[in-house]
């Protein structure tokens, strides 16, 4: 994939709330006005954008220097017991990648699977099969996007740091999407100190090299959690999330790439993190 970064980029998940219209074009303009750097196109219900609109999104984002990522639909489960649901999952991954690429997006976030009470290794192999097939098709079509299995927040969901790093070493075109809030929720309160953040970045560096840290795609927000992990996303300052030390760890590991904010006040918290990071 040809994409490189000269720094960390901060932006909201989806169109900012303060956008005058809930539309991608207006959203990108608003991100630029706010002085943010990037935006995630939230194709979370379905991928509905046509080619003309996608071309407009691409032209505007290039003009304004706002880089884009995509969140693929939630309805993906590469470990479904029903074969037709696995096929539908792959189709959704392909659609998100193709339309995202037409928009100029570089990186696609995917909720890969649920364990469905199966052994993690069995699930891993099914996820690997799905990602292998999808990335081979995208390569043939010259769709240049990173496909990113997300580190998930619920214990029923496939996606630990170790699983996503391993998949990235075994399938070309794949890199992890580390959701630091999910990690905090999944571990029921851990991963909230400088040392623990460094441990995650070190695991990525050991498995995938410094290059992976220089093309990150992260999700960060406050989060509420219980014994089963994630409950809901929160505003950073209304949560226990130690984003200040996360920013410090990202700086110390010379990280670059996308930091997408999924707080309920996404653009405000994206700005808070950007300012905190830049003041270091």
Q: Which is nearer to Zn ion, 37 or 179 (CB)?
A: 179
Q: Which is nearer to Zn ion, 106 or 150 (CB)?
A: 150
State how far the Cα of 124 lies from the Cα of 23, in Å rounded to an integer: 36
Which is it for the CA torsion 251, 253, 258, 263, positive or negative?
negative
Q: Which is nearer to Zn ion, 57 or 152 (CB)?
A: 152
Site for Zn ion (CB under 5 A): how many residues? 1
Q: Which is nearer to Zn ion, 115 or 194 (CB)?
A: 115
Site residues (CB under 5 A) for Zn ion, limited to 142-181: 150
Other C-beta atoms within 10 Å of 120: how many? 12
Q: Minimum CB separation from Zn ion for residue 252, in Å?
A: 26
Q: Minimum CB separation from Zn ion for residue 13, in Å?
A: 8
State how far the Cα of 251 lies from the Cα of 269, in Å rounded to an integer: 18
Q: Minimum CB separation from Zn ion for residue 87, in Å?
A: 22
**What DSSP state is assigned to residue 45?**
S
DSSP assignment of 52-66 equals HHHHHHHHHHHHHT-
Q: Minimum CB separation from Zn ion for residue 219, in Å?
A: 6
Q: Which is nearer to Zn ion, 153 or 198 (CB)?
A: 153
State how far the Cα of 36 lies from the Cα of 66, in Å rounded to an integer: 8
Q: For residue 40, give the 3-state DSSP assignment.
A: strand
CA distances from 110 to 44, 62, 90, 265, 266 (A): 10, 24, 11, 22, 19
Q: Minimum CB separation from Zn ion for residue 245, in Å?
A: 23
Site residues (CB under 5 A) for Zn ion, limited to 65-84: none
Closest-by-Cβ residue to Zn ion is: 150
Q: Minimum CB separation from Zn ion for residue 177, in Å?
A: 8
Q: Which is nearer to Zn ion, 198 or 236 (CB)?
A: 236
Q: For residue 5, give the 3-state DSSP assignment.
A: coil
Site residues (CB under 5 A) for Zn ion, limited to 106-145: none
**Under 8 Å between Cβ of 223 and 184:** yes
**Interface contacts to Zn ion, rule CB under 5 A:** 150
């Amino acid at each position: 994939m040809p994409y490189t970064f000269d720094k960390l980029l901060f932006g909201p998940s989806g169109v900012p709330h303060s956008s005058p219209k809930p539309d991608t074009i207006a959203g990108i303009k608003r991100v630029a006005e706010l002085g943010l750097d990037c935006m995630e196109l939230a194709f979370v219900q379905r991928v509905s954008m046509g080619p003309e609109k996608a071309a407009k999104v691409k032209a505007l984002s290039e003009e304004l220097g706002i880089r884009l990522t995509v969140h693929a639909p939630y309805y993906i489960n590469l470990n479904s017991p029903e074969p037709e649901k696995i096929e539908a999952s792959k189709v959704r991954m392909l659609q998100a990648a193709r339309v995202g690429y037409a928009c100029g997006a570089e990186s696609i976030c995917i909720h890969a699977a649920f364990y469905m009470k199966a052994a993690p290794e069995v699930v891993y192999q099914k996820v690997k099969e799905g990602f292998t097939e999808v990335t081979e098709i995208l390569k043939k079509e010259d769709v240049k996007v990173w496909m990113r299995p997300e580190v998930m927040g619920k214990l029923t969901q496939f996606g630990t740091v170790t699983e996503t790093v391993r998949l990235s070493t075994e399938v070309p075109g794949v890199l992890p999407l580390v959701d630091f809030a999910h990690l905090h929720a999944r571990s029921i309160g851990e991963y909230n100190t400088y040392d623990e953040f460094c441990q995650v970045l070190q695991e990525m560096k050991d498995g995938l090299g410094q290059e992976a840290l220089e093309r990150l795609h992260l999700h960060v927000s406050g989060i509420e959690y219980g014994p089963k992990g994630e409950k809901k996303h929160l505003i950073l300052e209304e949560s226990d999330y130690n984003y200040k030390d996360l920013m410090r760890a990202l700086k110390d590991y010379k990280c670059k790439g996308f930091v997408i904010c999924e707080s309920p006040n996404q653009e405000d918290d994206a700005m808070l993190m950007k300012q905190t990071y830049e003041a270091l």
